[in-house]
Amino acid sequence: MNLAIDLGNTFAKTGVFIGGKLQELQKGLDYPTLLAYVESINPKHIVISTVSYSEEQLKADFGKYDPELVLLQPTTSVPIQKLYDTPHTLGADRVAAAIGAMVLFPQQNCVVIDLGTCNTYDLVDAEANFHGGIISPGMAMRFKAMHTFTQRLPLIEPEGFPELIGKSTSKAMQSGVINGLLAEINGFIEQYEAVLTKINVILCGGDATFFANRIKSPNFVEPALVLIGLNRILEHNVEIKNASSPDKLTQS
């Protein structure tokens, strides 16, 4: 049994994998609940991705699983080639999502679009090369920015897809953010398709389903994409360990 943990600032998302397949998904776990959950299922291997907790704390809290614990860091071995000028600044979630796309579409070109607090558009090719991509403000951030940096614009929430021409300030803001973001998504996909043909478009993140049906290109929504990638990274590191210690058999 493998356990993949995507640990955010407030809550964690976890995936239990057996034989490479996602068997159980948990969301919204605070840190104490996460520790209790891990203790209850007692996984064989664990991989953790986080920018919120230190390596020292994680090793202290999950130390009983060492050496079967993998903390995803810039130096962690991954089954992908990072063609990125500053790999030490590359977010672990972007790496994991790209590898998750490789699991779903092996030896195929993919663009991974993560629609969350920030939106990222990352290109991974059929030869498992991560080319990098684009980072832009997410939907909620755009609404908040208009309210924060102006005197009179209100803070509003999305209300579904608006008409292009807003007949009120609120509707105009809705159109600017939502239709503007949809145009951005479609435009970036078109530009990626001009670089590599036959690209699979994979969406993840909290706003993925909001936009999926409006995107021109066929696309695939996978909410657990980061967890799928984390599990593949864990498998990759277990394979390396077993290859260096052939006398030790490790069961997943």
Q: What residue numbers does the annotated binding site for substrate cover?
A: 84, 91-94, 169
Sheet holding 118-124, edge to edge: 81-82, 129-137, 118-124, 109-115, 199-204, 219-221
Count of beta carbons in the 10 Å neighbourhood of residue 58: 17
Q: Contact at 8 Å (CB) between 99 and 80?
A: yes
Are the CB atoms for 207 and 114 separated by under 8 Å? no
What ranges make up the beta strands (E) of the chain? 2-7, 12-18, 21-29, 45-50, 69-71, 81-82, 109-115, 118-124, 129-137, 199-204, 219-221
Place of tokens 């997410």: 138
- Which tokens is 133 given? 């991509």
The active-site residue out of 30, 66, 85, 93 is 93
For residue 122, indicate whether it is catalytic.
no
- Beta carbons within 10 angstroms of residue 87's beta carbon: 13
- What does DSSP assign to residue 179? I
Helix (H, G, I), strand (E, B) or coil at 252: coil
* Terminal-residue alpha carbon distance, the chain: 5
d(CA 233, CA 96) in angstroms, rounded, equals 8
Give catalytic residue positions: 93
